[in-house]
Structures are given as C-alpha cells and as structure tokens.
C-alpha cells in the first residue's frame, strides 16, 4: 500500500510539473524576445504564439503542449499509478499549465495539455475527434466554431470506442475546469486587448494602422 501511495503521489506531482513547463512562453521568449503573456490576446498558449510570433512557432508550442500532456499519462502508467491517480493526473497536467510555478502561478488555458493526456489515455477516440476538428477548421477557418463543434466529439467518442461510460462525464469535467480558467483570465485578457495595437482577424492578428490588411505580426 505504501508503494502504491508513493507511486500515485509521484505520478500526480510529475504530471503537474510536466504541465507547468511553459513552452509557449519559452518559444516566444526565445524566438521574439517577448513575454507572450503581455501580447496579443494575453494568453500563454500556442494559439497566441501562432498569431503573435508566427505560425510555425505556434505549431511547435502546440505540439510541445500536447506532448507534455501525453507524457504525463505515459509516466503515470509506467509508475503503475492506480486508476484513480491516473485520472487525477488528467487534471494535474492542465492545472500545471494553467497555474505554472515557473510563471508566478499564471499560465494558459490547458487545452493542449488536456488533449495530449486524452490522446495517451484514449488514443483512438481522441485521434478521431482530432481529425474531425481538423476537418472543421479546414471548412470554417474559425477556431471558435471548430472548438464548439469539436469538443463534444472529444467528450462523447471514448465510450463509442470501448472506453467506460464514465469517461464522457470525466472528460466533460476536464473541459469545464478549462472554461473556468477562461473566465478567470478575462480581466487580464481585456486589459492586454485594450492596449494592444493588434486585432484578431483571419488567420491571425492584424495591425489597426494597416486597416486590417493581412500583415503578419513582425518578429523581433
């Protein structure tokens, strides 16, 4: 029992610390020399890096965020964490991303880390949902619509692919915690938005002085 308890504790702690690695912050600092928390939409996330620093760097940050979520799940299994501890790791990884001790307990929304964890936990259903979301984005070029119609697939597909029925409410609860983080971040995001010379467009942020011409954000 003691070994199991230590294994569970180590799994959850490692999941939190892995999630806390602020890849979006590090990529933006390394490539553009900026604090991504104070630019664009004011979020330490891959989407903000994509718009402010550049598409390839946003994709890199997104892949790294997904990777750390998946690694949190794989490490918990390698440590033989109990089923309950494994599910707790699903909260710990995005909570590390959202409240990173390396950034003064600030962070992003945790979507990438959550998707990575689910990809390792329920690979077939998450991959199917990811393909559906990719199709939606190609059709709409609208991230908000993609998430609105794609996240339900992430929640509902695991039981279809053989996961326990309780997997759906578990994943729903995961995403509800991310929604709460979004609400908590609104005051900061509005503050950054108010002083930002950039406005959101398609595919990214455009300068007001360019009258929303499709100019990429300059990289310093």
Note the residue count of the chain. Answer: 220
Q: Is 18 part of any domain?
A: yes
| Model confidence, pTM | 0.84
Query: What pLDDT sits at residue 77?
Result: 95
* 80 in a structural domain: yes
Domain total of the chain: 1
- The pLDDT, as a whole number, for residue 199 is 53
Q: Give domain status of residue 118, yes or no.
A: yes
- The packing angle between helices 55-78 and 2-20, to 10°, is 180
Q: Is residue 158 part of a domain?
A: no
Strands 205-207 vs 198-200: parallel, antiparallel or unpaired: antiparallel
**Is 209 part of any domain?**
no
**Per-residue model confidence (pLDDT) at position 206:** 44
Domain extent for 51: 2-122+163-200
The pLDDT score that the predictor gives to residue 147 is 81
Does residue 167 lie in a domain region?
A: yes
Helices first, then strands: H and E counts in the chain:
9, 2
Could you report the per-residue pLDDT of 144-162, keeping only the tens digit for each? 788 888 889 999 999 999 8
How confident is the chain (220 residues) per 10-residue block, as mean pLDDT? 74 96 95 88 88 90 96 95 94 95 92 95 94 90 82 92 91 90 84 67 43 41
d(CA 206, CA 51): 9
Distance CA 105, CA 29 (A): 18
Sorted by sequence, the CB contacts under 8 Å of residue 174 that are 6+ apart come out as: 90, 91, 94, 114, 118
Domain annotation covers residue 136 = no
Q: C-alpha distances in angstroms, 159 versus 121, 156, 166, 168?
A: 13, 7, 8, 7
Q: What is the pLDDT of residue 200?
A: 53
Tokens of 27: 């990529």
Strand ranges, E, within the chain: 198-200, 205-207
Give the ranges where the chain is alpha helix by DSSP (H): 2-20, 23-32, 46-52, 55-78, 83-98, 111-121, 123-140, 143-160, 167-195
Q: Is residue 217 part of a domain?
A: no
**What confidence tens digit (pLDDT) does each residue in 24-36 have?**
999 999 998 989 9
pLDDT of res. 219: 46
């Amino acid at each position: 029992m003691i070994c199991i308890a230590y294994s569970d504790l180590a799994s959850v702690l490692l999941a939190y610390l892995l999630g806390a690695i602020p890849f979006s912050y590090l990529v933006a600092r390394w490539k553009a020399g900026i604090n991504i928390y104070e630019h664009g939409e004011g979020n330490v996330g891959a989407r903000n890096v994509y718009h402010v620093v550049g598409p390839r760097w946003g994709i890199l940050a997104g892949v790294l965020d997904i990777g750390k979520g998946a690694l949190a799940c794989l490490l918990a299994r390698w440590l033989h964490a109990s089923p309950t501890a494994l599910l707790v790791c699903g909260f710990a990884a995005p909570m590390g991303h959202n409240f990173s001790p390396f950034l003064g307990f600030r962070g992003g929304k945790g979507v990438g880390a959550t998707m990575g964890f689910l990809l390792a936990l329920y690979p077939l259903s998450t991959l199917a949902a990811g393909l559906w979301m990719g199709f939606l984005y190609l059709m709409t070029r609208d991230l908000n619509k993609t998430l609105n119609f794609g996240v339900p697939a992430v929640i509902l597909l695991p039981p279809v692919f053989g996961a326990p029925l309780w997997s759906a409410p578990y994943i729903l609860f995961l995403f509800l915690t991310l929604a709460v983080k979004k609400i908590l971040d609104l005051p900061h995001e509005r503050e950054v938005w108010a002083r930002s010379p950039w406005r959101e467009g398609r595919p990214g942020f455009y300068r007001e002085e360019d009258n929303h011409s499709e100019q990429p954000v300059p990289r310093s």
